[in-house]
């Protein structure tokens, strides 16, 4: 079993923002694999289904970004999975809009949601898919930037990134993270 967690903020005011790209990838997987993500438990909206013959839980934490670790910890404890069976999907301002990067482990890199997950899991070793939302313009506040929406010009790129992230997760589930990294890292657009 794999638990795929997309990071974001609940409530309609955050729909479509850069910081909610993890939710958008979960929505794409939900649509692609016909998995309803509508059950409230483990401090998240969850859905159970199958990807490539493997049981998966899709989850969108409802704790707000900075407390995402509470939901991830609850999911890991309940389903008794290892950290390697958890895939975290989130936004990255160091990647161009729509680019993705898959990692087996790593630091939070300043991302508060990841910081909180690392604190709750007590490790940096868990698979993750980072989706680029572009670098913050000079002089703009970081919080305002990540809570802002994509420009019309960025919409095609970010949609492509969401679809590519969903495909990469399916490869991770079916063939493992190494194959996904080989197939998707550095091959954007």
Map out the domains of the chain as residue ranges: 2-184
CB 89 within 8 A of CB 112: no
Counting every residue, how long is the chain?
189
In angstroms, the CA 99 to CA 46 distance is: 26
Per-residue model confidence (pLDDT) at position 188: 62
Would you name the residues annotated as active-site residues?
A: 19
pLDDT digits (tens, 9 = 90+) for 74-91: 999 999 999 999 999 999
CB 69 within 8 A of CB 132: no
| C-alpha radius of gyration, the chain, whole number | 15
CA separation, residue 86 to residues 38, 76, 119 (Å): 19, 8, 15
Per-residue model confidence (pLDDT) at position 186: 81
So what's the architecture of 2-184 in CATH? 3-Layer(aba) Sandwich (3.40)
In angstroms, the CA 92 to CA 129 distance is: 9
pLDDT digits (tens, 9 = 90+) for 99-132: 999 999 999 999 999 999 999 999 999 999 999 9
User: Over 60: is that where the pLDDT of 189 sits?
Assistant: no
């Amino acid at each position: 079993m794999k638990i795929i967690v997309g990071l974001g903020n609940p409530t309609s005011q955050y729909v479509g923002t850069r910081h909610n790209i993890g939710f958008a990838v979960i929505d794409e997987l939900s649509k692609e694999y016909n998995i309803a993500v509508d059950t409230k438990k483990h401090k998240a909206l969850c859905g159970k289904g199958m990807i490539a013959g493997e049981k998966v839980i899709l989850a969108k934490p409802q704790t707000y970004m900075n407390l995402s670790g509470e939901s991830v910890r609850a999911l890991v404890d309940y389903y008794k999975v290892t950290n390697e069976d958890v895939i975290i999907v989130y936004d990255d301002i160091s990647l161009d809009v729509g680019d993705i990067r898959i990692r087996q482990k790593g630091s939070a890199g300043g991302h508060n949601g990841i910081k909180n997950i690392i604190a709750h899991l007590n490790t940096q070793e868990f698979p993750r898919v980072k989706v680029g939302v572009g670098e913050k313009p000079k002089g703009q506040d970081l919080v305002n930037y990540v809570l802002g929406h994509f420009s019309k010009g960025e919409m095609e790129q970010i949609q492509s990134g969401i679809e590519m992230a969903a495909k990469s997760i399916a490869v991770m589930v079916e063939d493992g993270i190494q194959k996904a990294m080989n197939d998707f890292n550095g091959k954007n657009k």
